[in-house]
Structure 1
């Protein structure tokens, strides 16, 4: 998708599989998440579980999907004001850690 960041910034919430790149962008832009991980995909399942535990996402397992369940879960995510606070808090923690610049400096210092 060209200029994916623009779509994420414009969204109230993002529905996706749980890959780390999109999860990171949602955290960066403070977007609520409904994650539908691919069954048996370890990375997606782990990312989704961690995001849900942090209170910044809701998991919808693929085998549970129906039109009614999907609508209900999207509505819950959109209405979840606690998730907004959790995203804001997590973003401030990440910013205090130095963000991408600090991560790059750490990696470069290893070589």
Structure 2
């Protein structure tokens, strides 16, 4: 992967994460999260996910669950409402992110395999 591709993937991932978290916060908390706050949360969450993935990502099931709990912990830390609210924000964010990535794949911006389902 070239440097340009890496930068593009990072930028698109940050954009998708920001929009998804913003939508989750607006739907669950019924408040304006603010784009800078959602972008910072997406960035911190992605970094936390990457670090957790490095250390425990190789452990079947437990690794992915640990990474998810850490990411939800970042959302919980950044927004009010506790763990239940953070889980709800995360679920909405996941749905929105899948929808955005699917739309990107449909118009040819990303490969459909990015959704995790080869040949979609």
TM-score by length of 1: 0.32
TM-score by length of 2: 0.30
With CA pairs under 8 Å and 6+ residues apart, which has the higher RCO, 1 or 2?
2
Q: Which one has the bigger strand percentage?
A: 1
